[in-house]
Structure 1
Amino acid sequence: MASLALAACEQQPAGEAVVRTDLGGGASGETAEVVEPETREEPQVASACTALTFEETAFTHCIADPRAHTIRTALAPQGGQPYGSLAAFAEQVEAGRIAFVVNGGAFGDDRRAIGYYVEDGERLSELDRGDGEGNFYMKPNGVFFGGPGGWRVLSTEAFFSTVRDRPQFGTQSGPMLVVGGEMHPEFQDDGASRAVRNAVGVDSQGRAHFVIADDEVSFGKIARLYRDELGISDALLLASTTSALWDPATGRLDNGRAGPIIVVENSE
């Protein structure tokens, strides 16, 4: 909120509070009009993100609601190199419509997407059904995708078998945290692998729930958060160690590398 002092030469609006102060010491008994500063409340945009504690671990939980938000992916300015970080992306866009932004998908040393990636209806990278090392290839992995008709998370094989029309946006990552209401078969309840992780899942109302850990967390714990706390049957890990969030409403802008970026915007 800003406190705006009106200049003395400006005409005061009707109803302005005026205090008359006796200057004293003069035969004329002059008084001076002193205008009290006017306090105006600037409109505030509520954050779509809130604090959440699960099993004594702090998370930030951001909800994209199809009635209020749209989702798109972003990787690079047109014809340019990848943004590489949320801070670089924030420098090149108007924050007015941004609800929040997260890093969203596997990427290589060149910051470009590994696996399926669609931006503005254009497929820039093919679905990867192969094998390899690292979190991305901890099968099953999956795809977060959608458009004006809704958003979904599916395992890679389910996406390959059932999705025929190209979505407006899509990003492949891995591993899946929860598949059909079951935790990933390779996860321990609270395994030794710990990192600051972020993920996404879509609930039965079509809302996309993005969660980022505020401290290092195991695969099992973040998977149980989606399954047991949020009641989401299919959830996908988006990143480990490079997890980041930009929330303009609170001023939060995390550092770290990024490849594909998921942008959630206010519809109005």
Structure 2
Amino acid sequence: MSKAETTLAALALCVTTGSAAFAEVTCSERSFDGLAYTACEVDPRVDDLRLFLDAPSGEKYGQFSTLEGTLAQDGKTLVFAMNGGMYHDDRAPVGHYIENGQEIMRVIPNAGPGNFGLLPNGVFCIQDDRADVIETLAYDAARPACRYATQSGPMLVIDGDLHPRFLKDSDSRYIRNGVGTSDDGTRVVFVISDQAVTFHEFGRIFRDDLDLPNALFLDGSVSRIHAPQLNRSDFGRWLGPIVGVVAPLER
């Protein structure tokens, strides 16, 4: 059975057993330039795409399973999720963060240490009928009406170009995850590498394979994905922001 057939079979199994709808999210395993990735495509016009940080208890959700448990109490399920941006030791967001229209952390426009401060960085902005990866200074000038937003860095692809600091012959390889968006904001693709990759390699899957003009790095060493379609839900270090798609729980 091919990887595509495996994905469809998993979706059919879930529907026939009445466990949970997968909304419009489509997850698949893919290969590009001989490297393995997992990608999940979301349509923000129909999918309930959100960011999550604090549980009702006041503690950070931290794990996909904790978020799933809270959603289940409200008759909902998590059909896709991924770590959603960099965070401090207390798991508070490093950069700009908006949840359900409330700004929790301001925009950080200046350069700084680490990957986050490798300018240009960017903001992933979720609006009512679209979602966009926007370079931080452009975002700060325009201030779109985001229901949810998370700032991270560096940008992987900026208006069709790879980040200028990425080196084709780099030997810095890590598991990495990120998000890319189309010009019209209707295609949102979340990608995690299934093996260690360079920034240059990771940026190219968004630009050259997925044909997305803007993409944002979300993190490296903590990268994880929750993709029930693929019978996958990673567990590891406690997370800060989580990005995910919510759907009604079918009983």
User: Mean alpha-carbon deviation: is it higher for 240-249 or for 230-239?
Assistant: 240-249
* Pairing 1:191–2:141 present: no
Q: Which one has a larger percent helix, Structure 1 or Structure 2?
A: 2
| Alpha-carbon distance in structure 1 between the residues aligned to 2:113 and 2:31 | 31
| Alpha-carbon distance in structure 2 between the residues aligned to 1:89 and 1:185 | 37
TM-score (norm 1): 0.79
Tell me which structure has the larger Cα radius of gyration. 1
| Alpha-carbon distance in structure 2 between the residues aligned to 1:86 and 1:266 | 15
Residue 106 of structure 2 aligns with which residue? 126
Deviations 1:46-81 (A, max 9, x none): 662101101111100100013431211000113512
Contact 1:86–1:103 (Cα < 8 Å) also in 2? no
Residue 62 of structure 1 aligns with which residue? 40
> How far off its partner does 1:251 sit?
3.0
| Alpha-carbon distance in structure 2 between the residues aligned to 1:53 and 1:132 | 33
Q: Which structure is richer in relative contact order (CA contacts within 8 A, separation 6 or more)? A: 2
> How far off its partner does 1:119 sit?
0.4
- Please list every run of 5 or more consecutive structure 1 residues that lacks an aligned counterpart in the other structure: 1-40
> How far off its partner does 1:86 sit?
2.5
| Alpha-carbon distance in structure 1 between the residues aligned to 2:94 and 2:149 | 12
- Which among 39, 42, 46 is matched to residue 17 of structure 2? 42
**Other structure's SS at 1:189 match:** coil
Deviations 1:108-161 (A, max 9, x none): 000110110000110000001123210100100000012213111111011011
Q: CA RMSD in A?
A: 2.0
**Other structure's SS at 1:211 match:** strand
**Other structure's SS at 2:229 match:** coil
Displaced runs of 4+ in structure 1, greater than 3 A?
Answer: 43-47
TM-score (norm 2): 0.84
> How far off its partner does 1:253 sit?
1.2
- Which among 114, 122, 136 is matched to residue 116 of structure 2? 136
> How far off its partner does 1:193 sit?
1.2
* Pairing 1:167–2:146 present: yes
Contact 2:158–2:214 (Cα < 8 Å) also in 1? yes
**Other structure's SS at 1:249 match:** helix
Contact 1:103–1:258 (Cα < 8 Å) also in 2? yes
- Which among 165, 169, 193 is matched to residue 213 of structure 1? 193
Residue 222 of structure 2 aligns with which residue? 242
Matched pairs, number: 227
**Other structure's SS at 1:89 match:** helix
Residue 86 of structure 1 aligns with which residue? 64
> How far off its partner does 1:190 sit?
4.4
**Other structure's SS at 1:93 match:** helix
| Alpha-carbon distance in structure 1 between the residues aligned to 2:40 and 2:220 | 17
Instruction: Name the % identity.
Output: 34
| Alpha-carbon distance in structure 2 between the residues aligned to 1:98 and 1:151 | 19
The letter for the 2-side match of 1:115 is G
| Alpha-carbon distance in structure 2 between the residues aligned to 1:236 and 1:58 | 19
Residue 241 of structure 2 aligns with which residue? 260
